[in-house]
Structure 1
Amino acid sequence: MDGNAVAEEETIAVPPGRVTLSDRRTQRSWQVDVAAFHLGVHPVTQAEWERVCETRPSTAQGDRLPVEGVSWLDAVRYCDARSRREGFTPAYRLGEDGSVEPNGSADGYRLPTEAEWEHACRAGTTEARYGPLDDIAWHRANSGERIHEVGGKRPNAWGLHDMLGNVWEWCWDVYDAEVYKSYRVLRGGGWFDEPWSCRASVRRRSHPTFRIDDVGFRVARTVSV
């Protein structure tokens, strides 16, 4: 498929598998079994966001640019709003105090876990990247220091675009509660990052209320059994 022909609102079935996660601070690694799930073929675009939320929060503007400048909490609210719009059971319970709890095995849209994200990014590969970096990712050395439309680079073996580069992506997980409290995991690297940051294993963190111009997200859904 040509990168510019990626369909809006499309998700891809990701097969089950096992992934090894690692943390540079603690020098710890651990394995996680990942069940089959669905994942957005690319980060949520500004057009997709506007269709659900009726707003345009991003700094750069363009229908097929990834939505950015949205917090982790914004992304969670989008997932639930889109689930209701499309007739799915929302994946989260949002408290008035800003708390967020997963809604069991709901079939609605949600953020991928960190393990799901890395498993999907690697697509069966074991190297730092699923292809030559300039072929698969927008990063500081080739982006012109600006965000780009989704789907413009080669996808991985499972058909997922922009898993590395363009925008960092929010994941569900807390980064390191002992040190960083409620900060959430970001994955993938972005358009302003040096090439070394655009690797399948690299982790970054941010507060769930912060909005940053190189951070977006993609949606996941649990596979019904």
Structure 2
Amino acid sequence: MVSVPPGRVTLSDRRTRRSWPVEVASCRLAAFPVTRAEYARVTGRRPVAAREGRLPAADVSWADAVAFCNSLSRHEGLRPAYRFTDGDDGVVWDTSADGYRLPTEAEWEHACRAGTEGPRYGALDDIAWYRGNSRERVHEVGGRRPNAWGLYDMLGNVWEWCWDVYDAEVYGAYRVLRGGGWFDEHWSCRASVRRRSHPTFRVDDVGFRVARSVGGAGQGPVG
């Protein structure tokens, strides 16, 4: 886990053409996406072959990722961040919990940028696996250069689930994906790019990484 300092990031919505600043509190974020070996160990699924262990866990839905966070918290004696309900919301985030969780999209973008202001934190071929260099397949985590805060694969390799609902007015329960993947063109691998999908959706270029709060909730709108 890497300590991410507090800061401010500006999010934007293409449909409404609205942008808004968000204050981001300090948090801890995994240096790598969750690997297949980690996922199998925590969930109790069949062990993966050694040659596949360092590949990012993909074909994982948002709901799977949330359940993993709770399982990992219990493994380490932490209070789970999520509570499953029968209501319309389905999952409630306990912001006071010390357990593992998904990053908010503001935390994700702030961490991805690592103090930079451009679309990427480095030359794309140096920092990411994308269609131009991936040979159209997933790669082991940590194979490209990290950003200035020591976070690997923030762009490329696999898209990453975030906590947030994408646009409830239009897309209902669809959740946010960030970062681009191994099959995407260069324009999708930018710090500001957002994608959406249903929380039960699984595909081979979508994974996640875990976060933990430091002294409270992860974000709040400015002003």
The percent of aligned pairs where both chains have the same amino acid is 71
Contact kept, 8 Å, 2:139 with 2:157, in 1: the verdict is: yes
TM (normalized to structure 1)? 0.92
Pairing of 1:99-114 with structure 2 (within 5 A): 99-114=90-105
CA-CA distance at 1:224 after TM superposition: 3.3
Contact kept, 8 Å, 2:41 with 2:47, in 1: the verdict is: no
Pairing of 1:1-225 with structure 2 (within 5 A): 11-55=1-45, 62-96=52-86, 99-224=90-215
Aligned partners of 2:200 and 2:38: how far apart in 1?
A: 21
Q: Which amino acid aligns with 1:88?
A: L
Aligned partners of 2:80 and 2:32: how far apart in 1?
A: 21
Aligned partners of 2:86 and 2:53: how far apart in 1?
A: 32
Q: Which amino acid aligns with 1:147?
A: V
SS in 1 for 2:45: coil
Contact kept, 8 Å, 1:57 with 1:69, in 2: the verdict is: no
CA-CA distance at 1:95 after TM superposition: 2.1
Q: For each residue in 1:29-84, what CA deviation from the matched residue of structure 2 results, as whole angstroms up to 9, or x when unmatched?
A: 110000000000010000110110122599xx710000000100000000000000
Contact kept, 8 Å, 2:29 with 2:209, in 1: the verdict is: yes
Aligned partners of 2:203 and 2:166: how far apart in 1?
A: 17
Aligned partners of 1:42 and 1:151: how far apart in 2?
A: 7
Contact kept, 8 Å, 2:109 with 2:192, in 1: the verdict is: yes
Q: For each residue in 1:59-112, what CA deviation from the matched residue of structure 2 results, as whole angstroms up to 9, or x when unmatched?
A: xx7100000001000000000000000011000001256810011310000000
Aligned partners of 1:205 and 1:57: how far apart in 2?
A: 30
Structure 2 unmatched runs, 5+: 217-223
Aligned partners of 2:28 and 2:178: how far apart in 1?
A: 18
SS in 1 for 2:52: coil
Q: Which amino acid aligns with 1:144?
A: R
Aligned partners of 2:46 and 2:134: how far apart in 1?
A: 22
For the aligned residue pairs, the C-alpha RMSD in angstroms reads: 1.5
SS in 2 for 1:164: coil
SS in 2 for 1:163: coil
Aligned partners of 1:223 and 1:152: how far apart in 2?
A: 28
Q: Which amino acid aligns with 2:31?
A: V
Q: Which amino acid aligns with 2:181?
A: G
Q: Which amino acid aligns with 1:47?
A: A
TM (normalized to structure 2)? 0.92
Contact kept, 8 Å, 2:37 with 2:47, in 1: the verdict is: no
Aligned length: 213
SS in 1 for 2:32: coil
